[in-house]
Amino acid sequence: MSKKSTILVIDDEDTMRNACQQVLCKGGYHIETSGDGADGLRKVRKLNPDLVLVDLKMPGISGMEVLEKIGEIDSTIICIVITGYATIESAVEAMKRGAYDFLPKPFTPDELRLITKRALERRKLVLESLWLRREKEKMERSFISMVSHELRRPLIDVQEYFEVVLGGITGKLARPQKEILEKASGQISRLLVLIKDWLDMSRIEAGKMSENLELLDLSQIINKTVDLVRGKVESKNISLKVNIPPHLPLAKGEKLGMERVFTNLIHNAIDYNREEGRISIGARQEGEHVVIEVSDTGIGIAKKDIPFIFDEFFRVKNRETQRTTGSGLGLSIVKKIVEAHGGSIQVRSKPGKGSTFTVFLPELTSVNRKGAGG
């Protein structure tokens, strides 16, 4: 048995509310009424109606304000304006604020029934469209995840075979053979990085970032990440300065996600730096946030590119970035992980001077600490 459509009538006139209720009840709908905008909005939040009939001229909150606030509560709710002060200007303004249609008073029962039927059909289409879009996104994420997993294992096997051959275990290689195999191995390494990025992106968008939350010692995570990249830093003769207080406030989050944030940022600081350049990593408490900064003296980012650097697959294209490979997902993943933890990220950069990425993460408050510990 299908669920009855819920219709809310918001009008300050008793006769109008009663008339609408009597007409629409005969259509098998569940009808609720309100005499003013404030009460109407409370019922919108409580009932989540399919359709709202709104009078424009009411004491207190006007019908126009009610339309706007309903859109903020749930943009899929269909609204019809009913008013005795119908003008072209008011109709246009109501449509701009989210009204689906406009019914001037006085109107006949048939007119009310017809416009109600059309509005509920519209509501059905909107909900079906929303459901289909979500299902499509879910299928896309599942497909990417499945394909990535299926690709990853064979590529790891091939990579291991290359390592065996390049290590001389199967016999000595001539220089041309070794060079070709090293290039092939490098391409597979890049593919594995891309697959890892896809899997991370799929996991974030599926909302799985919040499934493994724990208390995080950010000092420990950052220092561990720094230790892992020291070899790469030294190979480019880059000086690395780390200023991380030993007892930063605790944060609540996913450990692997946070490790990925700082790994990506520090790797970028290395990859886009210059020979004998500098990297500075610092952290501090600022209000209710832990602030982590990763600065470099690298090639920098042009002002026109900064608005796009967190977009998926965006890469700065110029002569200095041609030799640096990447998926174009690294910074997008960083931003999504940080935002999934209730934080934010900012960037300052000047071409030829370097870049500074600043991460703001909410610290674990004393109340949260107590709850997490108990």
Q: Would you state the structure tokens that stand for residue 8, as one six-digit string?
A: 């809310």
Task: Classify domain 214-362 at the CATH topology level.
Answer: Heat Shock Protein 90 (3.30.565)
CATH architecture of 6-107: 3-Layer(aba) Sandwich (3.40)
Spatial contact of 37 and 14, defined as CB atoms under 8 Å apart: no
Tell me which DSSP letter residue 4 carries: P
- Determine if the pTM surpasses 0.75: no
Residue 22: pLDDT band with limits 50, 70, 90: very high
The answer to whether residue 295 scores a pLDDT higher than 70 is yes
Residue 228: pLDDT band with limits 50, 70, 90: confident
The full length of the chain comes to 374
Percent of the chain clearing pLDDT 70 (strictly above): 88
- At residue 350, the 3 state secondary structure works out as strand
The answer to whether residue 234 scores a pLDDT higher than 70 is yes
The answer to whether residue 372 scores a pLDDT higher than 60 is no
The amino acid that residue 277 corresponds to is G
The answer to whether residue 370 scores a pLDDT higher than 50 is no
Distance between CA atoms of 262 and 283, rounded to whole angstroms? 12
Burial letters for 314-331: b for 16+ Cβ neighbours within 10 Å, e otherwise?
A: ebbeeeeeeeeebbebbb
Burial group, residue 214, by CB count within 10 angstroms (0-12, 13-18, 19+): exposed
Number of helices (H), then strands (E), in the chain: 10, 12
Residue 355: pLDDT band with limits 50, 70, 90: very high
Distance between CA atoms of 240 and 267, rounded to whole angstroms? 12
